[in-house]
Amino acid sequence: MLYALCYINNRFLPFNEAKLHISDLGLQRGYGIFDYFLEMDGKVPFLEDYLDRFYRSGVLTGLDVPLEREMLKEKILWLLGQNGFRNSGIKLVLTGGYSEDLYTPPSDPNFMILNLPVTHPPGEFGEGVKLILLDYVRYMPEVKTTFYFPSIALFPRMKAAGAIEVLYHHSGLISETTRANIFLVKEGRLVTPSPGVLRGITRMHVLNVAKQLLPVEEREVRLEELWECDEVFITGTSKHLIPVVEIEGRQIGDGKPGEWTKVISGKFEDFYMQVISETPAGFSG
């Protein structure tokens, strides 16, 4: 990892040499956005979708991405070629920049592209995972921000529970986990929370695949529905689709990955491999 190249403020540097000044507002005030996607077999599926979201996050938070889209794609492609991992994660990070009073945003944010190898391919979920609950509402949920304090502070409780994610809920409604969107299978229908969630790229494509298989509802989802449903799974870039078998110590369904979860996962993986086969090296079609 330390020998990988990364990009920071118009310079390519070894990962262990890339640094920011302590006055950066990402450090001082948590003011920053990011996005994350995968290179699989030397290709980047859904790249345009991820870039759309990253630029939109910049607009909504008042952070100007310093590179135009085509130039950004060239930087990403060059970095992938130099590192040569073939299977890796690409993280775009845009922070508030250096502030003299440690509060007022300057006109020039700091921009980074990180590229590190991926050791566990998405789509490998085993026997399912556990979640814990947190009463919390993210500010501007449609933006992928760098502010992860609520969930990181719960790492000890997650570890004690054997959980991998924190599921947010408030006023009787669930929304999303820290790093994933959530889906329920209930009475032969697939249900996912909306609005008030990050519009995950994997979420979007899973929905498109699932709509060919069973009725789909995007709506407010009550917390009680978790205990009434047959199956639960979460989706994300690095996860693809993972079944959830327990939430806050309570078993979901029969405590095993559900049949619909397996079917939708299989169809999504087929679609994902098709996209990769049709994607030019480094770019999405």
Give tens-digit pLDDT for 30-87: 999 999 999 998 899 999 999 999 999 999 999 999 999 999 999 999 999 999 998 9
Q: Are 109 and 57 a contacting pair, CB within 8 Å?
A: no
Query: Which pLDDT belongs to residue 279?
Result: 85
In this prediction, the residues of the chain whose per-residue pLDDT falls under 50 are 284-285
Phi, psi of 33 (to 5 degrees): -130, 165
For residue 190, what are its two tokens?
Answer: 């697939």
Measured in degrees and rounded to the nearest 5, phi and psi for residue 154 equal -95, 10
What is the pairing mode between strands 181-186 and 189-193?
Answer: antiparallel
Cβ neighbours of 4 (radius 10 Å) = 19
Residue located via tokens 């950004």: 72
Tokens of 130: 């556990």
Burial of 124 (C-beta count, 10 Å sphere; 0-12/13-18/19+): exposed
Cis amide bond preceding 66, omega within 30: no
Question: How far apart are alpha carbons 16 and 29 in whole angstroms?
Answer: 24
Residue 255, judged by CB atoms within 10 A of its CB (0-12, 13-18, 19+), counts as: exposed
CA–CA dist 119, 22 (Å, integer):
31
CA distances from 153 to 43, 73, 91 (A): 35, 35, 22
Q: Is 6 helix (H, G, I), strand (E, B) or coil?
A: strand
pLDDT at residue 285, rounded to an integer: 40
Domains of the chain are 5-117 (3.30.470.10), 129-274 (3.20.10.10)
The side-by-side arrangement of strands in the sheet containing 5-8 is: 11-14, 5-8, 110-117, 88-95, 32-39
What is the C-alpha separation between 30 and 155, in angstroms, rounded? 19
b/e burial code for range 55-70 (CB count within 10 A of at least 16 → b): bbbbeebebebebeee
Residues 198, 57 contacting (CB under 8 angstroms): no
Residue 204 to residue 206: CA distance in whole angstroms: 6
